[in-house]
């Protein structure tokens, strides 16, 4: 054995034994067992032993990217997302890409890839594209632009049909490591474990993860079948280095695969204190109101928690919607995510499509289309072309919006499309998180960010940085102009009750943040959305800014995977998302898939705590309380 390896953890030494035997491997282990830590050790050792080879590592969690960058930092290591890795390796084979896309589009079994109204797609369909096949955030198959889902299908097809492609990638990367394998798409696993086999070149694929933490439905979940087929050898980590004893005990009860963790014997492990494992605290708090503010107060008063320490104390909610109310950006969230007028439009559109209604609506308003359908003499089902109960309630509360939508050209309104990603993409876990740039945010939100960045830098007295970002920098020619800048920014900061539209104009007139072409273009092309956002108070956007910049203690439960914090408050409220059911989590009842999903997200949440864990359940039944007593201990179940 290479001498230096002796200093490594035993599991990492076991991995190197498999590498020596040219075997692909899987490192699995419960939460906090140190898989990310081992991944970094493996990468470092591989580079040490093979200084001339390239290593690829794919990971999704912020925590892992940060840890890898800090601890490895080597030019031979390429850290990326799986999508970027695949695209980088196939994008130069344009001829093959075009041919493959046409085949997939014409394959009736592949429903995700098709070109509307073109069937079959001719062989030379993509031959004259200026930029060839491209991979982007959005899909426009007609123009040869694919997005995330299509990329995986396409890459899988190419690697399956071109063993040479596997040889090229294997030559380029002698080692490929995939973190959080459980949430990796099955197409990706197939590429690396099945299609790669078709090339006789040598390389090593290593997976790291935990089946109990599979929280995304598109993920493979488990690699058990690959293990059975001998395509991969498993090494298990059993110790826990993160969580205090009480959290480990709880987590062991929550695991559904019988894996029982023990605290590590490593005296330097984070969960050790002077040679003994920390005890920590676990609490199950409940009350008959859903007022989480009182839960926070209870923890502050009785357990010394400090929610202002956003880096170390987190409140985990299932959805951004649940957070929006608490963090104060509920109107913005509701515009981007809960527009039931647009949902009604979808209902009408789907009806027209489903029933092949062949009327020319090109000159009709949305209101006219509704009327035509509702008064149709063709025996149409009136219910199917009317708003649902939820839509009716929404319309009753938003009559102005509904009346406005009814005046819009139906075809134009049909094109209106936006998602909450345009508002919320890439939330930072904490303020120091540098990797998040909000790629999917729309131009309006990006512009508002720019304005608020100006304000925030000036308010925090970061004058040099402020001078670098403000558009006013081009106007600074004299002492007098500096004084004008001071007056202008101080005027802008005082947003008071001003609307978003007013602040955009103010920032423009005062020269702090100019209305640029991107914003103008957005305003022209997204009249419906802009009209809705513009009247919301700018102070509400400021709340969103704080949330996205990681300055609040709030996080969604999914986004905390891989991370760890001293104090963790988990809110068990499914926010009417029926993919999850926390009552049934405790009763171990209900639909098996919903139960499984709820068990896994709850396991992920609880195991983030390095010191103290609190779980809040609003108005639990007696059965839930009994189970909570079993899991948390009688003395830790508290009615606040
Ligand atoms: N060998 C080690 N020496 C010192 N610290 C370690 C070691 N292994 C892990 N740790 C520390 O233990 C904690 C948990 O490790 P890590 O985050 O790698 O766990 P994980 O298995 O990836 O957890 P999860 O599945 O919950 O994301 C981290 O604080 C990490 O820095």
Q: Which domains does the chain have, with CATH numbers?
A: 5-87+162-237 (3.40.50.300), 94-156 (no CATH), 249-318+557-639 (3.40.50), 340-417 (no CATH), 421-549 (no CATH)
pLDDT in tens, 134-190: 998 788 898 999 999 999 999 999 999 999 999 999 999 999 999 999 999 999 999
CA distance linking residue 353 with residue 368, whole number of Å = 17
Closest ligand 1 atom number to CA of residue 9: 1
Is 35 annotated in a binding site? The answer is yes
243 CA → ligand 1 middle, Å:
10
DSSP state of 57: E
Distance of CA 254 to the CA centre of its chain: 24
Asked if residue 170 has its Cβ within 6 Å of ligand 1, the reply is no
CA distance linking residue 523 with residue 472, whole number of Å = 23
Asked if residue 33 has its Cβ within 6 Å of ligand 1, the reply is yes
ipTM of the complex: 0.97
User: What are φ and ψ of residue 229, in 5° steps?
Assistant: -80, 5
Protein residue whose Cα sits closest to atom 18 of ligand 1: 34
With vertex at residue 526, the alpha carbon angle to CA 520 and CA 530, rounded to the nearest 5 degrees, is: 80
Is 496 annotated in a binding site? The answer is no
Asked if residue 64 has a cis previous peptide bond (ω within 30° of 0), the answer is no
Protein residue whose Cα sits closest to atom 25 of ligand 1: 31
CA distance linking residue 295 with residue 348, whole number of Å = 44
Asked if residue 414 has its Cβ within 6 Å of ligand 1, the reply is no
Asked if residue 67 has its Cβ within 6 Å of ligand 1, the reply is no
Protein residue whose Cα sits closest to atom 15 of ligand 1: 34
Protein residue whose Cα sits closest to atom 24 of ligand 1: 31
39 CA → ligand 1 middle, Å:
10
Torsion region of 123: left, alpha or beta (phi above 0 gives left; psi -120 to 50 gives alpha): alpha
CA distance linking residue 512 with residue 509, whole number of Å = 8
Is 97 strand, coil or helix?
Answer: helix
Is 34 annotated in a binding site? The answer is yes
Asked if residue 34 has its Cβ within 6 Å of ligand 1, the reply is yes
Q: 137, 113, 136, 135: which is closest to 125 by C-alpha?
A: 113
35 CA → ligand 1 middle, Å:
6
263 CA → ligand 1 middle, Å:
12
Asked if residue 533 has its Cβ within 6 Å of ligand 1, the reply is no
Q: Which helix (H) or strand (E) holds 283?
A: strand 281-287
Choice from 9, 33, 34 to test ligand 1 binding pocket (greatest atom count within 8 A of CB): 34
Closest ligand 1 atom number to CA of residue 213: 25
Helix and strand numbers (H, E) in the chain are: 29, 18
55 CA → ligand 1 middle, Å:
22
Asked if residue 242 has its Cβ within 6 Å of ligand 1, the reply is yes
Q: 228, 226, 136, 241: which is closest to 181 by C-alpha?
A: 226
CA distance linking residue 201 with residue 609, whole number of Å = 44
With vertex at residue 38, the alpha carbon angle to CA 610 and CA 260, rounded to the nearest 5 degrees, is: 55
Q: 422, 555, 428: which is closest to 65 by C-alpha?
A: 428
Q: 33, 32, 74, 34: which is closest to 56 by C-alpha?
A: 74
319 CA → ligand 1 middle, Å:
27
pLDDT along the chain (640 residues), means of 10: 79 96 96 94 95 92 78 90 93 95 93 86 90 89 92 97 96 96 96 96 96 94 94 94 97 90 91 94 94 95 93 94 94 95 95 88 94 75 90 95 95 92 86 74 95 96 94 85 92 95 96 96 94 96 95 93 94 93 96 96 98 97 97 96
Asked if residue 209 has its Cβ within 6 Å of ligand 1, the reply is no
Dihedral sign, Cα of residue 202, residue 206, residue 211, residue 213: negative
User: What are φ and ψ of residue 250, in 5° steps?
Assistant: -65, -45
CA distance linking residue 490 with residue 237, whole number of Å = 56
Asked if residue 607 has its Cβ within 6 Å of ligand 1, the reply is yes
Q: Which residues contact 197 (CB under 8 A, 6 or more apart)?
A: 231
514 CA → ligand 1 middle, Å:
46
The crossing angle, in degrees rounded to 10, of helices 538-548 and 320-327 is: 120
Exposed (0-12), middle (13-18) or buried (19+): which is 351, by Cβ within 10 Å? middle
Is 36 annotated in a binding site? The answer is yes
CA distance linking residue 33 with residue 222, whole number of Å = 18
With vertex at residue 35, the alpha carbon angle to CA 31 and CA 39, rounded to the nearest 5 degrees, is: 160
**pLDDT at 63 (0 to 100):** 72
Choice from 13, 32, 601 to test ligand 1 binding pocket (greatest atom count within 8 A of CB): 32
Whole-angstrom Cα Rg for the chain = 27
CA distance linking residue 235 with residue 19, whole number of Å = 12
DSSP state of 7: G
Asked if residue 35 has its Cβ within 6 Å of ligand 1, the reply is yes
40 CA → ligand 1 middle, Å:
10
242 CA → ligand 1 middle, Å:
6
Residue pair 615/281 in contact (Cβ under 8 Å)? The answer is: no
CA distance linking residue 231 with residue 26, whole number of Å = 10
List 239's β-bridge partners, or say none: 262
CA distance linking residue 534 with residue 540, whole number of Å = 12
Asked if residue 261 has its Cβ within 6 Å of ligand 1, the reply is no
Torsion region of 615: left, alpha or beta (phi above 0 gives left; psi -120 to 50 gives alpha): beta
CA distance linking residue 584 with residue 589, whole number of Å = 5
Asked if residue 179 has its Cβ within 6 Å of ligand 1, the reply is no
Is 14 strand, coil or helix?
Answer: helix
**pLDDT at 420 (0 to 100):** 93
Is 30 annotated in a binding site? The answer is yes
CA distance linking residue 205 with residue 279, whole number of Å = 38
Choice from 36, 45, 67, 566 to test ligand 1 binding pocket (greatest atom count within 8 A of CB): 36
CA distance linking residue 315 with residue 381, whole number of Å = 46
Asked if residue 280 has its Cβ within 6 Å of ligand 1, the reply is no
Distance of CA 393 to the CA centre of its chain: 31
Residue pair 18/225 in contact (Cβ under 8 Å)? The answer is: no
Q: 471, 511, 465: which is closest to 488 by C-alpha?
A: 511
**pLDDT at 477 (0 to 100):** 83
**Alpha helix segments (H runs only) across 175-237:** 186-193, 224-228
Strands across the sheet containing 25-29: 77-80, 54-58, 173-178, 204-209, 25-29, 233-237
241 CA → ligand 1 middle, Å:
6
CA distance linking residue 227 with residue 224, whole number of Å = 5
DSSP state of 620: -
CA distance linking residue 217 with residue 149, whole number of Å = 13
Distance of CA 321 to the CA centre of its chain: 14
Asked if residue 560 has its Cβ within 6 Å of ligand 1, the reply is no
């Amino acid at each position: 054995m290479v001498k230096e390896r002796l200093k490594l953890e035993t599991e990492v030494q076991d991995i190197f034994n498999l590498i020596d035997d040219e075997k692909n491997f899987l490192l699995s282990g419960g939460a906090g067992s140190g898989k990310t830590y081992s991944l970094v050790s493996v990468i470092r050792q591989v580079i040490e032993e093979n200084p001339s080879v390239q290593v690829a590592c794919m990971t999704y969690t912020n925590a892992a990217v940060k840890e890898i960058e800090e601890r490895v930092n080597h030019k031979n290591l390429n850290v990326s997302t799986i999508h970027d890795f695949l695209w980088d390796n196939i994008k130069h084979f344009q001829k093959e890409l075009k041919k493959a896309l046409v085949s997939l589009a014409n394959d009736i079994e592949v429903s995700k890839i098709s070109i509307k109204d073109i069937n079959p797609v001719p062989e030379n369909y993509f031959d004259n594209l200026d930029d060839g096949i491209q991979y982007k955030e959005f899909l426009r198959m007609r123009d040869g632009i694919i997005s995330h889902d299509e990329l995986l299908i396409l890459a899988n097809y190419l690697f399956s049909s071109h063993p040479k492609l596997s040889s090229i990638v294997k030559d380029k990367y002698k080692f490929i490591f995939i973190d959080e394998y459980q949430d990796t798409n099955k197409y990706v696993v197939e590429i690396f474990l099945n299609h790669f086999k078709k090339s006789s070149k040598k390389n090593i694929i290593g997976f790291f993860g935990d089946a109990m933490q599979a929280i995304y439905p598109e993920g493979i979940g488990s690699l058990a079948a690959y293990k059975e087929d001998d395509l991969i050898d498993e090494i298990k980590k059993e110790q826990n280095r993160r969580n205090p004893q009480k959290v480990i005990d709880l987590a062991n009860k929550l695991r559904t695969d019988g894996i029982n963790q023990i605290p590590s014997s490593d005296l330097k492990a984070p969960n050790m204190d002077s040679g003994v494992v920390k005890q920590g605290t676990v609490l199950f708090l409940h009350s008959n109101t859903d007022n989480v503010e009182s839960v926070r107060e209870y923890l502050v008063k009785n357990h010394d928690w400090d929610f202002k320490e956003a880096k170390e104390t987190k409140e985990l909610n299932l959805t951004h919607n649940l957070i929006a109310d608490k963090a104060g950006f509920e109107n913005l969230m509701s515009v981007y995510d809960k527009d039931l007028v647009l949902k009604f439009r979808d209902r009408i559109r789907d009806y027209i499509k489903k029933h092949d209604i062949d009327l020319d609506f090109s000159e009709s308003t949305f209101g006219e289309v509704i009327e035509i359908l509702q008064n149709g003499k063709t025996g149409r089902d009136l219910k199917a072309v009317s708003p649902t109960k939820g839509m009716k309630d929404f319309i009753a509360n938003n009559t102005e919006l509904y009346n406005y939508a009814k005046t819009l050209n139906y075809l134009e309104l049909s094109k209106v499309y936006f998602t909450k990603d345009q508002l919320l993409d890439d939330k930072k876990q904490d303020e120091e998180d540098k990797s998040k740039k909000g790629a999917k945010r729309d131009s309006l939100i990006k512009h508002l960010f720019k304005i608020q960045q100006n304000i925030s830098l000036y308010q925090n007295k970061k004058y040099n940085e402020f001078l670098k970002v403000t558009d006013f920098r081009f106007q600074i020619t004299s002492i007098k102009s500096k004084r004008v800048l001071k007056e202008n920014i101080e005027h802008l900061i005082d947003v008071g009750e001003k609307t978003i539209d007013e602040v955009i104009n103010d920032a423009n007139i005062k020269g702090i943040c100019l209305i640029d072409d991107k914003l103008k273009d957005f305003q022209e092309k997204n009249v419906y959305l802009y009209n809705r956002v513009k009247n919301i108070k700018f102070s509400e956007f400021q709340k969103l800014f704080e949330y996205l910049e990681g300055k609040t203690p709030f996080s969604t439960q999914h986004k905390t995977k891989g991370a760890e914090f001293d104090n963790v408050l988990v809110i068990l409220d499914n926010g009417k998302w029926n993919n999850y059911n926390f009552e049934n989590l405790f009763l171990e009842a209900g639909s098996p898939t919903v139960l499984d999903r709820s068990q896994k997200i709850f396991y992920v949440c609880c195991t983030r705590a390095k010191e103290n864990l609190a779980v809040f359940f609003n108005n639990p039944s007696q059965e839930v309380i009994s189970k909570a007593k079993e899991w948390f201990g009688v003395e830790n179940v508290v009615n606040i």
